[in-house]
């Protein structure tokens, strides 16, 4: 979504830009929901590491009358660092600010997600098993 809203030289990954991108996502979802075109939505790309971000998510879902299911993906810090280093070497991730340093900053300031959620340890099971667990939790085929 960020790449659709901003030219490459305008992408800055600031909190202000992050919030604007998410506001656009919610407005688009609301637009489509009013027309009955939204069945399921997966939001990814924000860490939701702050309580205020999670509360905003809950508030927007309630406003749209949507069932909200939080899925928290976790992994051991050394696994996360190795993944981030691999992505940096290969250039395989679209987010230009994704780094070990950012991970460490976010991890140090993260607030726990409270309330019901599915926690998936992405370093403990293969991707296919994680997908099955998520679909079962969501009660989807």
CA distances from 92 to 44, 58, 127, 138 (A): 17, 31, 18, 29
pLDDT tens column, 31-84: 998 888 877 888 887 888 999 999 999 999 898 888 899 999 999 999 999 999
Nearest in space to 78 (alpha carbons), one of 104, 98, 111, 102: 104
pLDDT tens column, 74-100: 999 999 999 999 999 998 887 878 899
Residue 133, classed as helix, strand or coil, is helix
Nearest in space to 72 (alpha carbons), one of 41, 109, 114, 101: 114
- pTM for this prediction: 0.82
Domain ranges of the chain: 40-138
Percentage of the chain beyond pLDDT 70 is 99
pLDDT tens column, 87-136: 999 988 878 788 999 999 999 999 999 999 999 999 999 999 999 999 99
């Amino acid at each position: 979504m960020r790449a659709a809203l901003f030219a490459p030289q305008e992408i800055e990954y600031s909190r202000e830009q992050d919030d604007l991108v998410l506001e656009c996502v919610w407005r688009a979802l609301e637009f489509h929901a009013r027309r009955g075109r939204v069945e399921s939505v997966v939001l990814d790309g924000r860490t939701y590491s702050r309580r205020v971000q999670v509360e905003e998510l809950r508030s927007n879902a309630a406003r749209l009358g949507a069932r909200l299911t939080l899925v928290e993906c976790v992994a051991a810090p050394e696994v996360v660092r190795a993944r981030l280093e691999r992505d940096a070497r290969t250039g395989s991730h679209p987010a230009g600010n994704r780094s070990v340093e950012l991970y460490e900053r976010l991890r140090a300031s993260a607030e726990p997600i409270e309330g019901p959620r599915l926690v998936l340890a992405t370093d403990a099971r293969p991707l296919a098993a994680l997908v099955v667990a998520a679909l079962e939790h969501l009660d989807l085929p």
